[in-house]
Structures are given as structure tokens and as C-alpha cells.
């Protein structure tokens, strides 16, 4: 087991380059199952979730070749199994995308319930509702979902709640279905658009991705031979923007799409942080002084739930009382007890975190409870006085490429150590 050891406080200066989107990559890799041939995926983040997924595809029969650290070629022609075992996917939240891809290709799929971070119940009722509308029969036994269909036929599907996972999964299942599928109340996140662009490059006919109505005209086959580059990671970019705002200094976050960051940028400006957009970069300048704000997480283009814990660390510096209302995951607040170890004054009432800012943080031993909570503790360590230890950093490695190396290049005093 490994941990991060951080000595703070210390300001951050310099440039940081953002990797490809984790949330796009973990959907696009399963989407390659649908292709009759090979494809090349560029700007893949070198993270644990990607490695787990590529290993899973290889076990299903795909040929996976790393052309370099951030480029892979996947040839799905010889995939010979529609069954993903528990051991393959036990650490993957995004394992449910295998359902849509395998069902689309084989008209059957057998996949365990998702693993990954534990921050609340992961309902897949909207996925199941959509699969059944397309003609699949669903059976759930002993934590394993089995989907079978004689054929998949396009239809109209209205999602009762905005769900990124269900939107992408239904796109995956519908691209090879007969006729036209319409997904209403669809998620609009940037990685939904990226998945659609990938599938369209391979011959799919998807229109409307990025709006709340997506239309998919089924095609007979998807043909490979095309390269696709993953979009920059919106959440990694936001994490470094928040880290710069908290630690103070001046950081230019490069290889980003500024439009994807608008909800965070608006809040940072409201908090008195300097934010400047420059083409595909965003410069964040801070003197460590932070104004109080209220935040509510919402589906895109609202404030991302995946930046909630990081913002909580930043708001510990604010002059006054701030609130974060969690509109997506009811179990997102496990980071709170860990921040309290460092002196944070946070109270949770239902889905609202009430943060009383202005109380100095002090370094302490802490434990990552999930991916985003882990990086929130690192940010807290950057602003705390003394030594902070963040244990259980396997969560962070799942979603951030070279995280501590990027922070060290900005001047952070952070080391990866083996736990004794």
C-alpha cells in the first residue's frame, strides 16, 4: 500500500498539462467492442481504470496494443465472449458500459453490478428500462445482470432522470439496432458528445449529442480503421484550478476546453479568484483569500458533482459560511470526516454540507474514501500547516495520471511513499 505525504502550505506556480478524459475513455474503450475491425484511440489517460478495462477487453478476446503510453489500438474482430466476470470488473464503476456494447454486438450480455468508488447506491433502472424498450429481456441474479434479445429494435426512450451512464449505454446498444432510437431527457456532458463522435467516426448515425434529445439511426455494422482522440479531462482540469486557487500562486492549466469549465470558472470568479481564458488554457491566480459562496451540483452544464469534494477543501479558507448542496450522489459526503481530522468545520444536513471557513487546517493522517475525496484531501494538505498523509491512494491512481508528479512540477511538497 502507498500513501502521499504532503508538507504545506506552499504556493503553486507554473504550467500543468491535462490528460485525456477518464469519463470519456472508460466509455469509448467498451464502445470498441461494437467495431468490426480495429481502431486507434489517442490521448488515453494512463490510469488504473483504463488498464482494467483494456485487460477486460483482452480477456473477452480483443487484441489490445499500446502504441505508446497514451495511444492504444483495439481490434475487436475476434471477441468471442459476452460474459464479463466479477474478477474482471470488481473495481470498475464504468463496467456497466460493457452491457450496452456486448448487447449491441451479440444481442446478449452478462455483466456484474458496477464496482469502483463507494459513494452511494448506483441505480441502473434507467439503463434496464431502455434496454427493455429496445427489445432485451433482463434478468438479475446474485449481483449479475443478464440481457438477451432476439433482435434490438429502435424506439423512443424517455429517461426519468438525467443519467450520463444510461444515455451512453443506450447509445451503445442502439447503434446496431434496427430502425431509429430517440433518447429524450438525455445527459449533455462533454464525454457523452465524445462517445457519439467516436461512434460516428466508425460509421454510426447519431445526431443531437450534447442536447437533451439524441437520435440514433441504426446501421448494419461499424467499420474500424479510424483514429479518435479523447477530449481533455474536465474534472482533472477543475481539480488543478481549485488546487491553484487554494494554495495561492499562479498556474496555467493547459490542454483544456474552456467552455467545459464555465460553471467552475464562474464560481471561482465569484470567490475572488483570478481566472483568465487563453485559447486552450486557463490561468488561475490567487493570493489564498477566498470569498464564501453557495454551490449546488447539477448535471452538465451545471456544477459537476465530481468537483464537490475539492471545492469543500477550498471553501475551508473562505471568510464566512458556505454551502454545497449535492444534487447527484447522496453518498458524496464521506470526505467530510477526513477533512475534520485536519480541523475543518463542516456539518452535513441531508444533502447539504455547511462549511464554516476561516479555521486554519493542520496536517494529519487521512484516508481517501473515493477518487474525488482523495484529491480533495491532497488539496487540503497543500494549504494545511505541517505534514498531511493521504492513505488509500489507489483510488487517486484510478483516475489521475501522474498526479503527484504534476503537483511537484508546480512546486508542491508531495511524495509517494510506501506505508509501513
Catalytic machinery residues: 117
Beta bridge partners of 182: 156, 215
CB 41 within 8 A of CB 228: yes
Task: Return the SS3 of 353.
Answer: strand
> How many other C-beta atoms are found inside a 10 Å radius of the C-beta of residue 91?
17
**Is residue 32 classed as helix, strand or coil in its secondary structure?**
helix
What are the backbone dihedrals phi and psi of residue 73, each rounded to the nearest 5 degrees, phi first?
-115, 130
Grid cell digits, residue 402: 501522474
Max Cα separation, the chain?
63
User: How far is the CA of 375 from the CAs of 4, 22, 166, in angstroms?
Assistant: 10, 15, 27
Strands 180-184 and 156-158: parallel
Phi, psi of 391 (to 5 degrees): -90, 170
Q: What contacts 96, CB < 8 A, 6 or more positions away? A: 111, 113, 114, 124, 127, 165, 169
Q: How far apart are CA 277 and CA 271, in angstroms?
A: 17
Measured distance CA(200)–CA(210) in Å, rounded: 14
d(Cα 313, Cα 245) in Å, to the nearest integer? 11
Q: CA angle at residue 125 from 336 to 198, to 5 degrees? A: 85
Residue whose C-alpha cell reads 448535471 in the numeric block:
299
Q: In the sheet that 365-367 helps form, which strands lie side by side, from edge to edge?
A: 365-367, 386-391, 2-8, 413-418
Amino acid at each position: 500500500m502507498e500513501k502521499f505525504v504532503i508538507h504545506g502550505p506552499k504556493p503553486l506556480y507554473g504550467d500543468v498539462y491535462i490528460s485525456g478524459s477518464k469519463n470519456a475513455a472508460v466509455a469509448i474503450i467498451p464502445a470498441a467492442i461494437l467495431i468490426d475491425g480495429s481502431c486507434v484511440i489517442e490521448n488515453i489517460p494512463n490510469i488504473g481504470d483504463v488498464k482494467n478495462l483494456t485487460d477486460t477487453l483482452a480477456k473477452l478476446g480483443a487484441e489490445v496494443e499500446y502504441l505508446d503510453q497514451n495511444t492504444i489500438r483495439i481490434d475487436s474482430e475476434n471477441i468471442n465472449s459476452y460474459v464479463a466476470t466479477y474478477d474482471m470488473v470488481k473495481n470498475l464503476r464504468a463496467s456497466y458500459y460493457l452491457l450496452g456494447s456486448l448487447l449491441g454486438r451479440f444481442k446478449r450480455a452478462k455483466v456484474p453490478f458496477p464496482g469502483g468508488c463507494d459513494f452511494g447506491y448506483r441505480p441502473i433502472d434507467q439503463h434496464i428500462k431502455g434496454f427493455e424498450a429496445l427489445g432485451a429481456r433482463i434478468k438479475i441474479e446474485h449481483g449479475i445482470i443478464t440481457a438477451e434479445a432476439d433482435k434490438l429494435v429502435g424506439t423512443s426512450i424517455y429517461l426519468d432522470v438525467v443519467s450520463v451512464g444510461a444515455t451512453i449505454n443506450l447509445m451503445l446498444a442502439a447503434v446496431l439496432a434496427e430502425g431509429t432510437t430517440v433518447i429524450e431527457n438525455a445527459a449533455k456532458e462533454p464525454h457523452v458528445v465524445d462517445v457519439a463522435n467516436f461512434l460516428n467516426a466508425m460509421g454510426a448515425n447519431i445526431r443531437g449529442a450534447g442536447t437533451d434529445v439524441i437520435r440514433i439511426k441504426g446501421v448494419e455494422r461499424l467499420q474500424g480503421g479510424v483514429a479518435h482522440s479523447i477530449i481533455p479531462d474536465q474534472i482533472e482540469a477543475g481539480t488543478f484550478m481549485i488546487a491553484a486557487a487554494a494554495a495561492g500562486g499562479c498556474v496555467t492549466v493547459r490542454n483544456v476546453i474552456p467552455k467545459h469549465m464555465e460553471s467552475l470558472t464562474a464560481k471561482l470568479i465569484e470567490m475572488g479568484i483570478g481566472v483568465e481564458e487563453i485559447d486552450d488554457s486557463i490561468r488561475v491566480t490567487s493570493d489564498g483569500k477566498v470569498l464564501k459562496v453557495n454551490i449546488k451540483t447539477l448535471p452538465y452544464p451545471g456544477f459537476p458533482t465530481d468537483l464537490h469534494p475539492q471545492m469543500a477543501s477550498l471553501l475551508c479558507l473562505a471568510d464566512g459560511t458556505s454551502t454545497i448542496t449535492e444534487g447527484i450522489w447522496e453518498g458524496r459526503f464521506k470526505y467530510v470526516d477526513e477533512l475534520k481530522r485536519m480541523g475543518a468545520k463542516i456539518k452535513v444536513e441531508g444533502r447539504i454540507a455547511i462549511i464554516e471557513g476561516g479555521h486554519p487546517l493542520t496536517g494529519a493522517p487521512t484516508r481517501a474514501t473515493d477518487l474525488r475525496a482523495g484529491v480533495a484531501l491532497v488539496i487540503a494538505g497543500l494549504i494545511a500547516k505541517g505534514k498531511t498523509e493521504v492513505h488509500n491512494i489507489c483510488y487517486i491512481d484510478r483516475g489521475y495520471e501522474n498526479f503527484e508528479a504534476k503537483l511537484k512540477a508546480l512546486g508542491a511538497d508531495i511524495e509517494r511513499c510506501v506505508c509501513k
